[in-house]
Amino acid sequence: MTTANDCLFCKIVRGEIPAVRVYEDESTLAFMDVFPASEGHTLVIAKNHAPTLLEIAEADLLAATVTTQRLARAVQQALAADGLRISQFNGAAAGQSVPHYHVHIVPIREGQRAGSHGREKADSAALETVAARIRHALT
């Protein structure tokens, strides 16, 4: 079982591992997925460690949901996406690769087929460029 001490996303929250941050408040953090399913693939997490939807505290879930809605609007605006895939996985069998509650925001263009995760690691400079566009759309 993963604890907050060895959780990849908790390490990002604490600044121990770099991430291209898009938004942060007291309860949540949004950052670019390093293996994006499409350009602009953003993750929203609750800062408090909870492995899945089944374990997350209600206040943290509410905060993450509000942040997800806010970021989804910004992602759609910044990237002129035709649609958005908002997804959340619970447990390895369901496709969850990091055992910390998180939501994927994946912008989709008409006719595009995007999986839940990309196959290649994205260039950090390219992620920062897209993140800047999303941050601008948040203002």
pTM: 0.93
Percent of the chain at pLDDT above 70?
Answer: 96
The pLDDT score that the predictor gives to residue 2 is 76
- Confirm if 38 and 107 have CB atoms less than 8 A apart: yes
What was the pLDDT predicted at 115? Answer: 61
Give the length of the chain: 139
Q: What is the mean pLDDT of the chain?
A: 94
pLDDT of residue 119: 74
pLDDT of 4: 84
Instruction: List pLDDT tens digits, range 40-49.
Output: 999 999 999 9
Between 53 and 115, the higher pLDDT residue: 53
Per-residue model confidence as pLDDT tens digits over 83-132:
999 999 999 999 899 999 999 999 998 877 766 666 789 999 999 999 99
C-alpha 128: how far from chain center: 14
Residues 58-69, mean pLDDT to the nearest whole number: 98
d(CA 57, CA 135): 27
Stretch 33-43: mean pLDDT, rounded?
A: 95
The mean per-residue pLDDT over the stretch 21-38 comes to: 97
CATH of 8-138 among 3.30.428.10, 3.30.70.890, 3.90.700.10, 3.40.50.1220? 3.30.428.10
- Give the per-residue pLDDT at 114: 64
For the annotated catalytic residues, the residue numbers are: 102
Instruction: Decide: helix, strand or coil at residue 41.
Output: coil
